[in-house]
Structure 1
Amino acid sequence: MKNQSLSQRRVLAATSISYIVVILDTSIVNVALERISNALHTHISGLQWVVNAYTLAFACLLLSGGTLGDRWGARNIYLAGLALFTAASALCGFAPDLTILTIARVLQGVGAALLVPCSLTLINHAYPDPGERAVAFGVWASCGGAAMAAGPLVGGLLINMFGWRSIFLANVPIGLLGVWLTWRVARDKSEAQIRHLDLSGQLSLIVALGSLITVLIEGPVLGWQSLPILIGIAVSIASGGLFLVIESLRDQPMLPLSFFGNGLFSGSVVVTMVSALIFYGLVFMLSLYFQQVRNYSALQTGLSFLPLTAMVTFGSMISSRLTKKYGPRWPVAVALGLYATGFFGLLPVTADSPYWMIALPLPVIGLAAGLITPAATTALMGTVEKSRAGVAAGVQNSSRQTGASIGVAIFGALSVAIHPFNASMHTAMWIAAVISLAALLIWWLTAISNHR
């Protein structure tokens, strides 16, 4: 019994540590944008690739990460993912130019896509008791929430003391600690009923999302009617359609389209993607605003994000209680309303506005982001059988990373296409508010149809 308890603690410690660095890397890089721009001589489109290379690879491969864990053992794939993430972080830290940094960020995303679904499997195997398992998942998720909230501030402190490369190099000792802890965990057996890897579906998804993000980032630079952009649009549409056809014909698809026959499942995926799109798009745009318009240092930028990120953590803490009491419909609806209110509150902000004008709407947006994820997860997981819960969770996580990539691409494109920056930010806030209200309508309709 004592050995089992020790093994459980090792699994929880290893998976929580790795999840912290994975989530940190979705937000921490934003406070380094100005430093990276100056050091590697790049503009907004290059910075978009630095941010999006990670989330795009993460989103594209997340659904296959769990399948690989089933085939070759969750511990083995988790270790491979963590080792790759750690090595890629070192490469990011020593990258001599933008190309190498972008490639290294892609490798980080691949590593994250392998280790995140397998970390859930390891916790699931280590804690057979449902009550203990729920507590373990809560600890794991709380580590991710804390990492997202602390990301900008931690990044600002590291950059202020050691330079921008330190935000990547700091992952290395943490990653090595995670590898050491996982190495001491007993090997798990592969699943008796092995899911097949959907290679053609995976490839078509990579092409579809990759070409879409490329079009959104490079469109303002090359021109929306230029031949490369028109080809990119065609490739994205064709490969996206091909992906849907492949998934509809597969016996074991990486994305079971039958899930979307349930309105509540579809609504949960939509609001998860929209939340990530507008939240991470805002973080990217505000990072540029703080650093390039207001000339804040990395540390000042990190501190300026505290009203936003602190409320994300608070929202996550109360969301489960609200969902348990009222069901997921009302918390998600309120959160989307709060999103719209917060973005409308940012409309009057200009280059010369006092900081309090920015700080007042940020907690509202942060609270909305914190409320949505647990509530939407509860709604989504309640629509599928327990045997398919892992696949459903993968779909939701993938939609979140996809939304983040699209959000950074769209908000960045607005920054390039519309001048001055205040005008592009004003347009982005309008778009975010309208998208929030549209998502609210979709959510309400899907939630009502399911309630009936």
Structure 2
Amino acid sequence: MLRSHNSSARSSRLALLATSLGFVIVCLDVTVVNVALARIRDSLAINSTALEWVVNAYTLAFASLLLSAGALADRFGARRVFIAGLAVFTCASATCGLSGATAALIASRVLQGVGAALCVPSSLALLGAAFPEPHARAKAVSIWAGTAALALGAGPLVGGVLVDRFGWPAIFLINLPIGIAGIWLTVAHAPDTVRRAGRRIDLPGQTLAVISLAALTYAVVESGRRGWTSATVTAGLAVAVVTGALFVVVEARHPQPLLPLTLFRNAAMNVSAITGLSLNFGYYGLMFAMSLFFQNARHDTPLETGLAFLPMTAVVTVANVVSGTLTARFGYRLPMAFGQALAAVGYLALVFVQADSNALAVALPLLAVGVGVALAVPSINTAVLTHVGPSSIGIASGVLNTARQIGGVVGVGVFGSLVRPELNDLAEGLHVAAMLAVVVTLSSLLTVLLGLRTSGSLVTDGAG
């Protein structure tokens, strides 16, 4: 009996390792590519618009498929879907690293996004199956989330080292051994989940969501090259609006919708989604813009760029822990509001940064942004878990993550249109982008102050 218990505990720990490895490479790819942008541009001789697609192709596929991926995990089993996602991601990473042309790299980034979308919801479901006891499950989820935070924080530095030593393909090829190890551990040790054979896939809703998000991304990315008033950009925005409206109509009538609209009757859900979108808009947009600024205006190497990002990324894990402590004591409203206020101060300080500014003048604003965003992110997840019923937590988490990824896509597109290497004054474009981040962040802060009527105490608020 003791041997059986020890074997079960070991398998659970190895299942946690497998899901964490999958989550690590998914999150690492969100930030690691930014420090390689200049080298990719020079190697493939591509323009700024194509460079934005190298970043956004991944995030777009990830964002638009997250909700359906959760439904697939319910229908076919989380273990099978996680293995498939990790296999797709690993193979796509290989083709990214071996790409000798822009189209091939962007297509491979799309496939990476597909694999990432399959991995994330199913990895959380696998943890639930591997750790049925609530206390052990909470600890496992904390470790799983912590590895993601570390991956996001380490991304720029890891990318800088790899690009400097081995060239830009290395940032993708490093995923191969990690992905293979994750697949082997999952096959050997991860339990499967109960399959819901009757769960239907909302194909019309998924199709409209992909078209709407793709059209929006296309319009935002192309605006930098063509201008907001061009026929191409206007048409893209029109397609995004029309298909977005059709998506709402379809979801309202579908018996098993991709996105249950009843979720948005919940104020905490709405505020959390808006906050998540705003946070990623500024954070991902800033990482893209600052990477170009460091390497083109300040002429930093990829490694120096990764080191320059350390004040913003190294504090993520510590600030996440502080956010949890603040939430437990004061409720989620305080860290959500304070985090955004601090991030807004950081963005505002970037308005005064020039190409010849000293390291401290650059590091302090980035530190404020990093701490602010890291304080706010856990609180939006807590708000959703507190106010959404147990049967809807999965889909609510998918909605929140989708909103965050959309914010990242739009942020990279908008910031990229303002900070383009062919511009004579990159600092001026960075200043406009930073002010835009201030406006978006303060607007989101206002929704927190007006939309959440209580402090968000976990003791007094309940799950209604």
TM superposition score normalised by structure 2: 0.95
Q: Which string of whole-angstrom CA distances, capped at 9 and with x for unpartnered residues, describes residues 396-449 of structure 1?
A: 111111111111011001224975211111111111111111111011111127
Query: Equivalent residue for 1:387?
Result: 391
How does 1:86-165 map onto structure 2 within 5 Å?
86-165=90-169
Q: Which residue of 2 aligns with 1:177?
A: 181
Whichever residue aligns with residue 431 of structure 2, its letter is H
Q: Is the 8 A contact 1:70 1:194 kept in 2?
A: no
Tell me if the contact between 2:41 and 2:51 (Cα under 8 Å) persists in the aligned partners.
yes
Alignment partner, residue 433 of structure 1: 438
Deviates more, 1:230-239 or 1:414-423: 414-423
* 2:249 matches 1:250: no
SS of the equivalent of 2:100 reads coil
- For the residue of structure 1 that corresponds to 2:67, the secondary structure is helix
| Contact persistence 1:264–1:450 (CA under 8 A) | no
- Describe the superposition over 1:15-64 as per-residue Cα deviations: whole angstroms up to 9, x where unpaired: 00111111000000000010000001012111110001101100000111
Counterpart for residue 375 of structure 1: 379
Contact persistence 1:69–1:190 (CA under 8 A) = no
Per-residue deviation, residues 175-223 of structure 1 (Å, max 9, x unmatched)? 0000111111355244347421111100101000100010011122133
Find the partner of 2:319 among 315, 320, 331: 315
Distance (Å, rounded) in 1 between the aligned partners of 2:374 and 2:6? 36
Aligned counterpart for 1:212 among listed residues 213, 216, 220: 216
Letter matched to residue 317 of structure 1: V
Q: What aligned pairs does 1:51-450 form with structure 2 within 5 A after superposition?
A: 51-185=55-189, 188-192=192-196, 194-416=198-420, 420-448=425-453
| Distance (whole Å) between structure 2 residues aligned to residue 244 and residue 201 of structure 1 | 8
Please say if residues 129 and 193 of structure 2, whose CA atoms lie closer than 8 Å, have aligned partners that are also in contact.
Answer: no
| C-alpha contact (below 8 Å) 2:74/2:195 kept by paired residues | yes
Report the 3-state secondary structure (helix = DSSP H, G, I; strand = E; otherwise coil) of the residue aligned with 1:135: helix
Matches of 1:26 and 1:72, distance apart in 2? 27
SS in 1 for 2:314: helix
Distance 2:202 2:240 in 1: 19
One-letter amino acid matched to 2:81? I
2:43 alignment partner, one of 39, 42, 47: 39
The amino acid of 1:353's aligned partner reads: S
- Give the 3-state SS of the residue equivalent to 1:382 in structure 2: helix
In structure 2, the CA distance between the partners of 1:430 and 1:266, relative to structure 1 (3 Å rule), is: same
The one-letter code of the counterpart of 2:70 is G
Measure how far apart 1:339 and its partner are. Answer: 1.0
Q: Is the 8 A contact 2:269 2:384 kept in 1?
A: yes
Bigger shift: 282-291 or 183-192?
183-192
Aligned letter for 1:436?
Answer: T
What 5-or-longer segments of structure 2 have no aligned partner?
none
Mapped partners of 1:47, 1:317: distance in 2: 35
Aligned-partner SS, 2:168: coil
Per-residue deviation, residues 116-159 of structure 1 (Å, max 9, x unmatched): 10000000011110000000000000000000110000001111
User: What is the Cα deviation at residue 3 of structure 1?
Assistant: 2.3
Structure 2 contact 332–383 (Cα < 8 Å) conserved: yes
Assess if the C-alpha contact under 8 Å between 1:263 and 1:449 holds in 2. Answer: no
